[in-house]
Structure 1
Amino acid sequence: MPRRPAHFCNCGRIVAACSRCVCQQAADRVRKARHDRNRPSARERGYDRDWQRERAAFLIVNPTCKRCGAQATDVDHIKPHRGDRWLFWDRRNWQALCGHCHDSHKQREERHALKCEALV
């Protein structure tokens, strides 16, 4: 199977296929830090001791990832609650996911949904 060739970054460096340039990684860190400054803490968003207790109980009852069947480590809100306390605590809106599915597939879907909402 052929491999993708290296490419040039906008800064002029040669970057291996499927990699990001040092300048792109630095720009990502700056962008994420800027976003985090404006974001409330996990506790302020509702992820407190009560959430940890309910999360642990949910994972005991639902030990496998809803997507791939691996060991579940995260409780995900199917529909993002966006600060709605009722939706946050609605167990019908929870699903057990492994770390990989939660951090990659699910986050990508939510970003795509936000872009679609912005277009409407």
Structure 2
Amino acid sequence: MPRPPHICACGRLVPHGERCTCQKDADRARKRRHDAKRPSARERGYTTDWEKERAAFLEAHPCCAICGAVATVVDHITPHKGNKALFWDRYNWQALCKPCHDRVKQREERQAPAINVP
């Protein structure tokens, strides 16, 4: 039996399991504000040197550490948050496939308590 729709805070009737357009618009605006403040990938350390090290790491570790599929992403196990020593620490790297990185790892990072790394 289908579940009934709900009323959004803006007053619109929204089908069960869906989000109101006002919520989607608010999320887009929030993400735009976040991205506007965020440094570019190059400014965060993802330079040509990183690309070379990433390629070598993926060649040595071709399988995803979570599911065993072909790895395409080198992930920092502990988020480096700008810490160059943690960024380049190969013991902090793991090979992941894109779906695991985007789903599993990101979910873990959202649920983990914030860590302040100097």
Instruction: Considering fraction of residues, name the structure with more helix.
Output: 1
Deviation at 1:46, TM superposition (A): 0.1
C-alpha separation in 2, matches of 1:59 and 1:93: 14
Count of matched residue pairs: 116
Q: Hey, what does 2:83 align to over in structure 1?
A: 84
Given the alignment of the two structures, is residue 22 of structure 1 paired with residue 56 of structure 2, yes or no?
Answer: no
Given the alignment of the two structures, is residue 47 of structure 1 paired with residue 46 of structure 2, yes or no?
Answer: yes
Letter in 2 for 1:105: V
TM-score after normalising by structure 1: 0.83
C-alpha separation in 1, matches of 2:84 and 2:14: 45
C-alpha separation in 2, matches of 1:47 and 1:105: 22
Unaligned runs of at least 5 residues, structure 1: none
C-alpha separation in 2, matches of 1:64 and 1:46: 24
- Residues 89 and 18 of structure 1: is their aligned pair in 2 closer, same or farther, counting only changes over 3 Å? same
Deviation at 1:3, TM superposition (A): 5.6
C-alpha separation in 1, matches of 2:68 and 2:74: 14
Q: Hey, what does 1:58 align to over in structure 2?
A: 57
> What is the alpha-carbon root mean square deviation over aligned residues?
2.0
